[in-house]
Every structure is written in structure tokens, then in C-alpha cells.
Amino acid sequence: MNYWIKFFSFVFSTAVCQQVLAQPFQWQSTTPLPIARSFHYSFAHNGRMYTLGGAQFGGGQNGSTHFAEINPDHTLGPWTVTTNLGNDLYQFGGAFDPDSAWVYVVGGVTHGGPLTGSQFARVQGNGTLSTWTSTTAMPSGKTGQGSCLYRRVLYQIGGYLSNSTSVYYASILSNGHLSAWLTTTSLPEPLAFTYCVAFNDRMYVFGGHTGTTVSNKVYFAPINANGSLGTWTMTTALPDSLHGIAGYVSGDSITITGGAGATITTSAIYRAKFQPSGGVGTWTYVGDLPVPAAQHEIVKTAAKVYTLGGENHISGYLNRVAFNPPNPNAVVDGNSRQTPPRDFLISQNYPNPFNPSTTIDYQLPTNSHVTLKVYDVLGREVATVINEIQEAGHKSVKFDAGPLASGIYFYRLSVRTPSGQAGHLVATRKLMVIK
């Protein structure tokens, strides 16, 4: 058979057969943002979704703030304008304290270098924001920093252009103002556009840009009783080198979404469990965003997870808003995996692009005959990775592309139960070898 006919035949059959493969994140679109934006901040409170500032479609910064009602079916109502930020702003640190309903915006960029200023406003009963009030400025300017709130202490971590290893923290006072900013243990390396969360008296940072390269490193540090941080320790690296990711904590797991590598943006979603020792466990692919996105916002409510805005290498700035169940049954760690899984699933390989090896995760709800093959862009088979009967469960295989030239390839997973009772399932993903 002609190679092109063979290739397009298997791609067409894959597109049809993939419809029966389970997708753990089934996103539903809802009311888009009023304007496409990235580097903004979003949060939910009292049945409403909020978005503040950001870099906007067409260029420039945006100081507008909006909110939308979260309907009973979890869709968003129309966006309503509320009190603008004190200035047009993006790449700032945002944080929301649900106990006091104060929202904070720290640092960022407007029409010059990194800013030192901090401002706050309160979410009022009717959903609008009060007037923004200036409060204690940081010791020096930050932009593109990680921003975390933990036990009424606000942290600003790393940043872009300057102060890229410094960590500042300040307490929220009873009147909403911030105490004097203090400096605590610096990051082990410069990190801009890093993602941070605080969990169980530890601070975590995930990925970021060092100024010269994109990082896949994950660090954590103990949070002391006075709010300062202890020594940073490296733990399990991300599957890919990424900056501009967003995520959320659910139970004892951390989920990260999207992000940008050196040249492209990803849609992949990964999850890992926080470990009692302080690190994180193995990262497992659990799905995809609706589209690739970086510098986007993820907001988790009690019932849903929302993704808002961002940017990618295909469409530029995004105004897309979508929501999805938090997916608590997704695979997260070897000690807590569902056995057997309920659905067939194959992940995007990681890392990708790669040299020379990459990992492919997949799951089988029943004992099955599994074939995993790799093809070039002409549809020619270049490698057989798996061809055997396997027991139900969560699987992981490493593919070594040592003999292959740089370029785009496709890996195809074919699954058939020995009895044929579950039919024949096929899925294909693209991988890239760079040497």
C-alpha cells in the first residue's frame, strides 16, 4: 500500500476510534472573558467569578476588573464591570483571602519597570469591588512573580527582570492593610513566571523561567511559625520544562495545567500527590485543557474547575472560559491508583520534544492485548514498543528514539481484549524528536 494512503488511513481510523476513549477532563465552554487576556488574576467568591487586569488582545495592559454570576448549572452569566485597578497592570501577583473577602494585587508592570506597590479591595455583598486602596510597598519591584497566600501571610516569590530569587512576605492586618514586607530564604535559582502553592505548612514552586532556560524543577520549603521560609529542597521534577502554568490543590494532590516551553505551549494536565516527607510523588498525565494555554488562570470551586484566558503559540491571547469536574478519581500515585481504572486512556508522552527517551503512560480497565507502535510522517512503522497481553491497571513505558532522526513521529496505541468483548480501541499522539 502507498505510504501516504496507509498513513492517512490510520489517522482517519484513529480519529473515529478515539471517540470511545475516555477523556478524564470533559470541558464545557461558557461565557468568554470580555476581552482576550493573559497575565491576569482570577478567583471565585460567594457564587461569582472575578477576573482582574492583565495583558490584553491588541497589546498593552488592562486595569479593568469584571465579575460574573456562577449559575446553578455552573455556566457563567454575563460579565459585569466593577472597580478598576489603580492603574493598567499585568504580570502582577494576585491573592484572595476568602475569610475577609479582601483581594490583593502586588507589583507587576504598567508602562515602565517592575513596580513595588501593593493595593487591595474588598468584595462587597452585591458582588462589586470596593475602591482600591494602596498599602505597604515591597522593598523593591517585582513582576512575573509567584504569589501565594497562606494563613493570612502573603508571599511574593521570584520574578522577572530583577529580584528573581528574592522572596518577600507580609501579614494581612485586621483593617486589610499589609504589614511591612520582610525578606526570607531566597530561591535556589532565578525563577520568573513560576507557579506556587502552600500546603501543610510548606511552600512549593513549580517550573518557571531562569532567564536563560525554562525549568522543570520543583522546590519546597517549610513555612515557619513566624511566616518565614526554611531551606528550599528539590523534589520530583515536572514532566516537562514549563513556565506560566496554573493549577490547584485538591485533597492531598496538586494538579498543574498548561504552560509554555521554550517555543510551544502545552495543553497537558498532570497530577501528583504531596508526600508526608514534604516532596511530591510521581507526576501522571490526567487530561488536557480545551486548548494549549500559558499565563492562564485556573479557579477551583467546590464543584468545578474553571480555566480562564491565557495565551498560546497558535492563537495569541485567549478569551476562552471553560469548566470541568475536578476529576478526583484520576491517577495520582502508585500508592493510591484506582485498581482497575474505569476507562481506557493514553497520555501525551513526556517530555515532548525529547532526546533521546520519553515516557508514555496509559491505563487499561480490563486485561487486553496491547500494541504500541511508532510511525514517521509518511505512515511507515519505525518501532514496535509493545506487542503483548497485559493485565488491567495503570501502565508506563519508556521509548528510546536513539536510532531515529530529528523530526515529528506518531505513536499509536491499539487495545483489544482477548475475548474481544470491549471492541478494538485505537489512539494516536504526536511526538517530536530533537537532536
Range scoring the smallest mean pLDDT among 1-5, 253-257, 327-331, 364-368: 1-5
**Phi/psi at 94 (5° precision):** -110, 150
CA–CA distance, 104 with 90 (Å, rounded to integer): 13
> Residue holding cell 509567584?
146
pLDDT for 10 beyond 80: no
State pLDDT tens for residues 55-103. 987 666 788 999 999 999 999 999 999 999 988 899 999 999 999 999 9
Q: Which pTM value belongs to this model?
A: 0.73
Interval 289-314: pLDDT, tens: 999 999 999 999 988 999 999 998 88
C-alpha cell at 316: 495569541
Rg over CA atoms, the chain: 23
Q: Is 302 exposed, middle or buried (0-12, 13-18, 19+ CB in 10 A)?
A: exposed
Q: pLDDT tens, 188-242?
A: 999 999 999 999 999 999 999 999 999 999 999 999 999 999 999 999 999 989 9
* Average pLDDT of the chain to the nearest whole number: 86
What is the reported pLDDT for 46? 92
- Phi, psi of 258, rounded to the nearest 5 degrees: 60, -150
Judged against a pLDDT cut of 60, whether residue 17 lies above it is answered with no
> Using CA atoms, how far apart are residues 235 and 254, in angstroms rounded to an integer?
13
Residues 42/308, Cβ–Cβ less than 8 Å = yes
Q: How many CB atoms lie within 10 A of CB 325?
A: 15
Going by C-beta distance under 8 Å and a sequence separation of 6 or more, which residues neighbour residue 226? none
Buried b / exposed e over 266-289, threshold 16 CB at 10 Å, is bbbbbbbbbeeebbbbbbbbbbbb
Residue among 173, 167, 180 nearest 136 (CA)? 180
What pLDDT score does 306 carry? Answer: 97
The angle at the Cα of 170, spanning 43 to 116, to the nearest 5 degrees, equals 80
Query: Distance (Å, rounded) from C-alpha 243 to C-alpha 209?
Result: 6
User: According to the model, what pLDDT value does residue 144 have?
Assistant: 94
Residue with cell 512503522: 381
pLDDT of residue 3: 38
Question: Which candidate, 193, 322, 333, places its Cα nearest to that of 255?
Answer: 333
Residue 81 burial by Cβ neighbours in a 10 Å radius (0-12, 13-18, 19+): exposed
Question: Which of the pair, 333 or 401, is modelled with greater confidence?
Answer: 401
Predicted pLDDT at 101: 94
Strand partners, 11: none
Averaged pLDDT for residues 161-171:
90
Q: Are 330 and 32 in contact (CB under 8 A)?
A: no
Distance in angstroms (rounded) separating the CA atoms of residues 234 and 281: 12
Say what the pLDDT of residue 11 is: 39
